[in-house]
Amino acid sequence: RSRGVILQSQDGEVRWKAEEREWGLSWQWKDGVAAESTLGSGIGAYSREKLTSEQDDALFCAEVEKWIENEWLIPHDPEVHGEPAAVLPLLAQVQEHKATTPVRPVLDYRCLNARLQSDPGGDAPACEESLRKWRKAGCPGDFMPLDIKKAYLQVHVAKEFLKYQTVLWNGKPYVMTRMGFGLSIGPKFMGIIVRYVTRGCPDVDSYIDDMLTPSKCADAVAKTMLEYGLPTKPAEPLEESRVLGLQLCDAGSDVTWRCRDGSDIRVPEVLTKRAIFKWCGRLTGHLPVCAWLRPACCYIKRLAGWRQTGTNPYPTKLLSSAVSWTQESLVMVTQHEDAGKYRQTATSSM
């Protein structure tokens, strides 16, 4: 691509630098004022022995070493980067369902996120809406998922902000040169980039860095992504892929969407209004939904928030019916497959 591109929002911007063939991220400070003092709690690194098993820690260390090898983490140079303005502890996020990256390094961005302007925006897709839309995408053979390789790590952070991404590793300071996992504005700007690059492909639908594209133009879309510095994983038939946590399965005469094995749908031990809302959201957002499950969850949430006229507007005690409905719904989900799968229809479309 011969020209640069600037994509702006109220909380920052991303730039496509054509000569360097890279994307660069700049953020906006809350109230327009940059942090003057060093951010963070002063804890440069957490005790990995307490937070991860020995096996997971070995995978975590290997992944961090890859970051250093690829120069996503580079040694801190005071003359180039200035004095560290924020030290972000590294954490291990275990994701057993991902064979390529079973343990992902993430950064504890809380101290930095608190100082950043955040404008989620109304045009960003919602996960559950994308799930419902993709489940009705038509015949499985007509579509293929595309996933960007190391998507966040393809986006550089502007040089003036690198001092806010200092990381301690083996007692030595490093600088995270890419957009790390945990940055509050990361998903939004990743989505902005993908939607811009695929703007000429009207049949492509995306959620952050995951795309669902017609099979006939999957190669063309992958080529376009590569031209913008975003290499993709090889496209696979939809029947062999996992899309936003769902797997397409051939069940004889029906083709159905199912949640991946091992999904945690247990009811929380301590039931509160917040816990019930979270549990219902997890069911309807990440399980293929049809038949009775969504109305049942809506009813449970109504019961959980129910209060009698003239009583405390913020009730602390749940109605017994809310508790019983929650427990009975779990039994129904586990015993009846119609709540855990979604029939793929050949006549529907995105």
Q: What is the mean pLDDT of residues 247-269?
A: 61
pLDDT at 334 over 60: no
pLDDT at 243: 73
Work out the pLDDT band at 130, boundaries 50, 70, 90: confident
pLDDT at 345 over 60: no
In the sheet that holds 172-176, the strands lie side by side as 73-75, 172-176, 166-169
Task: Give one DSSP letter per residue of 64-107, joined into a string.
Answer: HHHHHHTTSEEE--HHHH-S-SBB--EEEEE-TT-SS-SEEEEE
pLDDT at 261 over 70: no
CA-closest candidate to residue 17, choices 158, 177, 209, 152: 158
241 CB contacts (<8 Å, ≥6 apart)? 144, 145, 247, 248
| 345 against 284, higher pLDDT | 284
CA angle 111, 152, 140 (to 5 degrees): 130
Residue count of the chain, please give it: 350
pLDDT at 154: 95
pLDDT at 306: 64
Mean confidence (pLDDT) of the chain: 78
One-letter amino acid for residue 290 of the chain: C
pLDDT at 317 over 60: no
Q: How far apart are the C-alpha atoms of 284 and 248, rounded to whole Å?
A: 17
| 341 against 215, higher pLDDT | 215
